[in-house]
Structure 1
Amino acid sequence: MSALGAVEVDAAAGGPLFRPLSAEDGEQRPAEIESLCMNCFRNGVTRLLLTRIPFFKEIIVSSFACDSCSWSNTEIQSAGRIQEQGVRYTLAVTSRQDMNREVVKTDCATARIPELDFEIPAFTQKGVLTTVEGIIDRAVAGLEQDQPVRRATDEEVASKIDEFIGKLKQLKELHSSFTFIVDDPSGNSFVENPHAPQKDDALVVTHYRRTPQQAAMLGLEGEEVDEKAANSAEDLRNEVLQFNTNCPECNAPANTNMKLVQIPHFKEVIIMATNCDSCGHRTNEVKSGGAIEPQGTRITLRITDPSDMTRDVLKSETCSVEIPELEFELGMGALGGKFTTLEGLLKDIGELVERNPFTLGDSSAPSKTEKLQEFLGKLREIVEGKAKAHFIMDDPAGNSYLQNVYAPEEDPELKVERYERTFEQNEDLGLNDMKTEGYEAEGAPGR
């Protein structure tokens, strides 16, 4: 029977599979299995202990010992999966108690001591359950292992390593404080907090998102796919999407282009444009990319200069337009949603008036025709900068916008007011009958 099988049988007999590391009840017995010694190729004994570290997680501690050649090896493996985020432990070592802190260092973790510019790279050591002092001892033992050969081949390098080993040993004497860092992209390493569950001022724990290179190092191809998917989604936001529709005029097949645009100092909007190759009909429409705002918006611009005609304007479907000097008001829904300049919007208003057969067509009365010609003349003067006027946009949904050319500073000619909607305005927007709170609990059938 395998060692893990033996442990599972013990657990099935009534005991927990993972017991606390500090258990003192005598029940925490390691499972033993005979295995091959990789040093002398004779049989030795591997002991496996499934244990749980308080305030951390379950781990598997394995220890091998060979009675023939006295070779031994100890390592740990995480009993859980790779975590969602990597983890970095930064410990300020100032006392003997800090040197005795338990440390779980997996094989993919990096250990560093910045004061000595010393680093143990990932995958150069097996995972260990030890202490801060034990990490330093293992580093010293690893450096001393090949020193006799170095002294025979390169005395200068050997002397420098001896000097560095001396510095590592001095750290154990705590002549000065130092920083000990364990960085593990898998998130399965651990440095003990003796004050747990209280905060440890000497220990800083930082969780971070793995880079694609770290994910590849851990063999997590899925994270690279997620990264590529995120990049693809970002590229999609920068593309113009196209889908098939029918022309609203002649009903012939046509293409509609759609683009998501971020308006500076405002929000995202969706611009859609349809061009019909059969009849030449062209339409464009703007939809807000966000929800209805908590308050309505009233924007007032005092047109004083021809440069005002170049200001960007977003007029939503719920926005009405007013020009007091011309006694003109454009109701909600007229012209639909538009993202253009102030000049373009005023020209669209003029075209809307001219296209109406009951105003300037054969069905119009002479008196009305004269008044509307006068209106169009004054409107052209405003567009050409020959006359001053006030341009007012009132949007109960709060999704309209008029460019502030002084942004982020205040515009002396632009006034933006927020107001509470009336019951009638909420009724027009369909908000009075909209219920979003407690809907599932009260409106779900059969409850």
Structure 2
Amino acid sequence: MTGVPTDSADCAESPDSTAWFEAARFGLFVHFGLYSMAARHEWVRSREAMSQEAYDRYLDRFDPDLFDARQLARAAKESGMRYAVLTAKHHDGFCLFGSALTDYTSVRATGRDLVREFVDAMRAEGLRVGLYYSLLDWHHPDFTIDEHHPLRGTAAEEEPRDMARYRAYMEGQIRELLTGYGKIDTLFFDFTYPEKGPEEWGAEHLLSTVRALQPDILVNDRLGVPGDYVTPEQYQPDRPLERAGERVTWEACHTLNGSWGYDRDNHDYKDPALLVRMLVQSVACGGNLILNVGPTGRGALDPQARATLRAIGDWSALHERSVRGAGPSAHEAPAAGLYTQAGNRLYLHLPVWPLKHLHLPGLAGRVRYAQLLHDGSEILFSELDGTRHEHNNLAPPSQPAGTLTLTLPIARPDVLLPVIELELDGAE
């Protein structure tokens, strides 16, 4: 994917609401392209300073016979994801859609419009649809050579190149994507960096064009001008994100193993339990999580990715209401716990399982009922008056007045992340 995202906030021309996005909370990112065949990171052409001729060995053999968008859509939905984003064009310039502006496309190579397949499949499963479009293009003859370009340090640096022509090309492709595939819910541009910024992209004009073509679309912050949501990458915020004292809509972008594209020899996969905690922490801090998969060179998910999505799906099937439609809580969570809240339902997520008793400050007299969310089993609770500890009148005071004490089973529930649902007394 990218470098460091730019700061952003909602702008005056933004859509009226990001409500669906913030309610969804969890999305799927799919990075797929020619680099998937190299199987050593999506930046392989830049990292290895590969010529176009050398890189085209992948184009000549590109055959995504196992790319099944319907299967991807089902996997996303079963994992609890409610939107999905596909790399329509990555930094190498190869397009997964049919374009009248270039032959460097999956349609020309294979006869398949993978964006069309993806969009149709996601819609059929009721998921919102997003497209990723790289502002970089190492294939286009007018994209000027910079520090990221594979041809840096070669004679190609002396060739005449015209970013104005490249900007016209980008705008033309954005028009194709936003007029040829029906409603697109999100557009993920990638990315602004020191050598190229808003002026090089014609960012204001490009964003205005996007708004004119699809007024309800949500656009991220990586054009270098304000968008609708900010995109911390491979970084997990531990508090709500703000700009000028106002909270902003955000989405943490994470990989399964540190690589966005398929990386055969990278086995640094995050544990599913960690990924679930990251999702919950995002929601607890008012954000979303979009989790990436990089299909193999033939277009299939590798076994570890499939197993990870299944494990997350097993957790989501029992706990989804603690994240989908939920958000931050004004209540202070206990140490090592995370709160999310939806209306009068407060969800306590427990990465570390306590020994029998769990003290919740400030909730005495405010909870009607408590249960483990995965099986609906009741959790008993009591209130402390601040003068004694339960079951031991000789013990010194250990908790302040207003503390609610839950009595938990000794055995930790056999789920990735246990959740206790607290029904609060009255709407909050």
TM bracket, shorter-chain basis:
under 0.3
Larger radius of gyration: 1
Normalised to the residue count of structure 1, the TM-score between the two structures is 0.18
More strand, by proportion: 1
Normalised to the residue count of structure 2, the TM-score between the two structures is 0.19
